[in-house]
Amino acid sequence: MGVEVVVEGLTKSFGRQVIWEDVTLTLPAGEISVLLGPSGTGKSVFLKSLVGLLRPERGHIWIDGHDLANCGENKLYELRRLFGVLFQDGALFGSLNLFDNVAFPLREHTRKGETEIRKIVMEKMELVGLIGAEGKLPGEISGGMRKRAGLARALVLDPEIILFDEPDSGLDPVRTAYLNQLIVDLNAETEATFLIVTHDINTARTVPDNIGLLFRRELIMFGPREMLLSSDEPVVRQFLNARRHGPIGMSEEKDVSELEAEAQLGHDPGVLPPIPPQLMPSENRIRRTQRPPGEWLAANGVIPPVNSFVDDRGRNWLEEYPRLVAAHLNGVP
């Protein structure tokens, strides 16, 4: 089971440029969270801060009772081993084949022998669907395969927390759909705590248990998927509807006069589309941390847009989900 990550009052600046201030959130153990935000709002800086590659000025990152933001180098080294990170381009060594790339952390950080290393590498290659490609160099394979190889390498030390920096960048929509399914399946399999930075709205709407949004140097909102997907907050609606109209401007936030001019022209960030069902693991499995659809909405008295939770086969997951759970309890595969 993954570990909980509690971020408290975190602030990061470079010189006089404040990137974000007073960020507070909890990544619940074993759950999938997504972090959204316009370009340049510091999402990558946030991921790097979580693994201790950057040191924030203020605040805490609590993991297993240790404050990663304020600990010494030895403790930091130990805590870092809880993490697996998938960097944007896979961050593979160009001169090593995929096998050696994936084996690298094992050879570097463990005393395991080559037989055991081979067993672990092949197991992870199989998880990401790369069996047969071990001998290829990163330059000989597609971007999607490089991402999967990067993912196999991120998994190789059995991390409790996995960070994904734009796993879908540069992928076509079909490959993105495959990768999203792989992410959900991996979460079911490993039960690690996941944090995904993405610009892909479909990924954000269907994959996570929780969504956060960075804007104006702060975390505007962080909470259950259904909370964000039913939010009235203009910046949330603008982002999730991918609209020009709303507080987010071309390169920075719009000022009050620009927003007033938009309002006079009747432009707004758009109405909320139906909440899609959450992507389920393959083979009708249920993730241990999965919340039933509609749970947050019902608990908070929020009525979702019509046609929410209906999938492309016309099945309503408010009815389908309890059936699936009942089938599991009865041992039906």
Ligand X SMILES: Nc1ncnc2c1ncn2[C@@H]1O[C@H](COP(=O)(O)OP(=O)(O)OP(=O)(O)O)[C@@H](O)[C@H]1O
Residues that bind ligand X (CB under 6 A): 14, 19, 37, 39-45
Least distance in Å: CB of 43 to ligand X? 4
Contact between residue 120 and residue 156 where contact means Cβ atoms under 8 Å apart: yes
Least distance in Å: CB of 8 to ligand X? 20
DSSP string, 20-89: EEEEEEEE-TT-EEEEE--TTSSHHHHHHHHTTSS--SEEEEEETTEETTS--HHHHHHHHTTEEEE-TT
Q: Which is nearer to ligand X, 45 or 196 (CB)?
A: 45
Q: Which is nearer to ligand X, 53 or 261 (CB)?
A: 53
The residue among 102, 87, 105, 63 whose CA lies nearest residue 143 is 87
Which DSSP symbol is given to 276?
P
Q: Where are the beta strands (DSSP E) in the chain?
A: 5-14, 17-27, 32-36, 58-63, 66-67, 83-86, 161-165, 193-197, 210-215, 218-224
Q: Which is nearer to ligand X, 54 or 141 (CB)?
A: 54
Six-digit token string for 101 = 């790339």
Least distance in Å: CB of 147 to ligand X? 16
Q: Which is nearer to ligand X, 44 or 202 (CB)?
A: 44
Least distance in Å: CB of 199 to ligand X? 6
Q: Which is nearer to ligand X, 114 or 252 (CB)?
A: 252
Q: Which is nearer to ligand X, 44 or 316 (CB)?
A: 44
Least distance in Å: CB of 49 to ligand X? 10
Least distance in Å: CB of 110 to ligand X? 30
Longest dimension (CA), the chain: 69
